[in-house]
Chain A
Amino acid sequence: MAKYLLLKHYRGGPAAVNDAPMDQWTPDEFEAHVQFMRDFAGRLERTGEFVDGQALSPDGVWVRYDGEGRPPVTDGPFAETKDLIAGWYVIDVDSYERAIELAGELSAAPGAGGEPIHEWLEVRPFLAAPPTVIE
């Protein structure tokens, strides 16, 4: 088993094929999307591949240490050009191929016109604990 992060971006990745903003979809199209996302999470749980799923607010800042006795420096809210993570799934699957397959399914979530969004998702393997036998 191996864990993968399926990362969704508000921006920073290549544009989706069907790239209309959600508030321009019809109410029915929006409902279909929400339903798809709920079903996807439910399906992962039923197959025993679900670990975690979270959504992030677009608000956020960069923070760094600024030396002893000083408050941390903040920079932000994020500039429009910066990469911005929207949320993720963590899955625990048998193979890399399965992770790709699931990301492909998630990217097919319906959007404007009821058509798949074809959104780009980032798939990142976790660096796991070393196995017992490595030689």
Chain B
Amino acid sequence: MLDEVALRELVPTVLSVLVRRGADFATAEDAVQEALIRALSAWEDDAPSDPKGWLITVSWRVLIDMVRSDAARRDREVRFGSDPPTSVASSADDTLRLYFLCAHPDLTPSSAVALTLRAVGGLTTRQIAQAYLVPESTVAQRISRAKRTVGRAGLDRHGEVRTVMRVLYLVFNEGYSGDVDLAAEAIRLARQLATLVDDPEVDGLLALMLLHHARRRSRTRPDGAIVPLAEQDRSLWDTGLIAEGVAILQTALAQDRLGEYQAQAAIAALHADAPRFEDTDWVQILEWYDELLRFADTPIIRLNRAVALGEADGAPSGLAALADIDENIPRRDAVAAYLHERDGDLELAARLYAAAAQSAPNLAERDHQTRQAARLNHLMRHL
């Protein structure tokens, strides 16, 4: 039986082998993708005993064919012989170099995401297209443009683990549809990245993902409606993932090299740690928001901090903090509505929920805010 994830895990290794044998990255990546697609259909009922060997052999043959037809077209000599040099064991450095390459700072976020998911994640162009609801040809174009960009920029520039983390966070946070769980895929890649680099921020990112993923079943109703944190059924939380996330975070924090992902993970861990919403340690959460602001002072973090402050110190404090935040920040109306409701001003809260629905960035949130407005209006009619 074909284990697609196990197959995908081989992709960066196989790609590295081809590159080490002298193939250029762009062509090698195409060859591995072609071999992967062949494997997905050929292995359906009969997987080879040495999947990695199979993929290397087939990728290499595809590569030779590509180079030959390319060379023939341009009337040039074949650069590669058909006898591959002896395979060398893939090193962690090669895989890490692939991560850096695919998240090259010259790439746009959408290109870096597509290239990372294909070259490191081993997803097919079609799967990426389905996940992001764009045509397959669009994704293919993004990938080939991305490869031209990194080809021009070259590998000499030292890779930036921050850009890789940003790409993985994007993949995690923008999981849409299709048959691939992008959040799970981002976790898998973050796990791998954490084994390749010694950086507590990577561990922080992994912990953050695990702690959010642990709550996924409680975040939405079966029909897709949003369930706010206070109303989530905490028995649905994945305690195994929470324990793992907390353990990874604690090890990272012990290194005393704090960063924004660790701070965010700490906040997520405090939420995960509360058996009931009422048990949430808002004072500690507030302290972590203050830490977080030292690394990334953004209006969105200030907005979330205002919510925490409202819980820790009462709605008026939260509203006072909100007064300093730009009115055009997304979800500000929603936060204001929530705090005014806690403060007892139902009429203003209902108006703000309705305004929040108007400016909601997606349908689920729009429906959620409309529901809140309808709930309060209904309540006020029956007071």
Contacts and interface: CB of A to CB of B under 8 A. Distances in A.
Interface of A: 21-27, 29-31, 34-35, 38, 55, 57-59
17 contacts: A22-B357, A23-B350, A23-B354, A23-B373, A24-B374, A24-B377, A27-B378, A30-B370, A30-B371, A31-B371, A38-B223, A55-B363, A55-B366, A57-B359, A57-B360, A58-B358, A59-B359
B304 to A, nearest CB: 22
Given A34-B367, A35-B223, A26 B374 contact: yes
Contacts of A23: 350, 353-354, 357, 370, 373-374, 377
A21 B358 CA distance: 12
B223 A25 contact: no
A30 B374 contact: yes
Contacts of B371: 27, 30-31
Contacts of A58: 358
A51 B224 CA distance: 21
B380 to A, nearest CB: 11
Contacts of A31: 371
A97 B366 CA distance: 33
Contacts of B367: 30, 34
B361 interface: yes
A30 B374 CA distance: 8
Q: Which 4 A-B pairs have the closest CB atoms?
A: A23-B373, A23-B354, A30-B374, A27-B374
A36 to B, nearest CB: 12
Interface in B212-260: 223-225
Contacts of B363: 55
Contacts of A59: 359
B276 interface: no
Given A26-B378, A30-B367, 5 more contacts: A23-B353, A23-B354, A27-B371, A34-B223, A58-B358
Given A34-B367, A35-B223, A38-B223, A25 B374 contact: yes
A108 to B, nearest CB: 20
Interface in B336-376: 350, 353-354, 357-361, 363, 366-367, 370-371, 373-375
A31 B368 CA distance: 11
Contacts of A24: 374, 377
A34 B357 CA distance: 14
A59 B358 CA distance: 8
Contacts of A21: 354
Contacts of A55: 363, 366
A22 B375 CA distance: 11
A38 B373 CA distance: 21
Given A34-B367, A58-B358, A59-B359, A22 B223 contact: no
A57 B361 contact: yes
Q: Which of A25, A27, A34 has the most CB of B within 10 A?
A: A27
A24 B370 CA distance: 9
A59 B223 CA distance: 26
A52 B354 CA distance: 27
A35 B225 CA distance: 11
Nearest to A26: B378
Contacts of B354: 21, 23
A30 B373 CA distance: 11
B176 to A, nearest CB: 13
A51 B220 CA distance: 26
Q: Which of A23, A24, A26, A35 has the most CB of B within 10 A?
A: A23
Contacts of A38: 223-224
B224 to A, nearest CB: 8
Contacts of B361: 57
Contacts of B360: 57
A29 B225 CA distance: 15
B348 to A, nearest CB: 13
A20 to B, nearest CB: 11
Given A35-B223, A38-B223, A22 B374 contact: yes
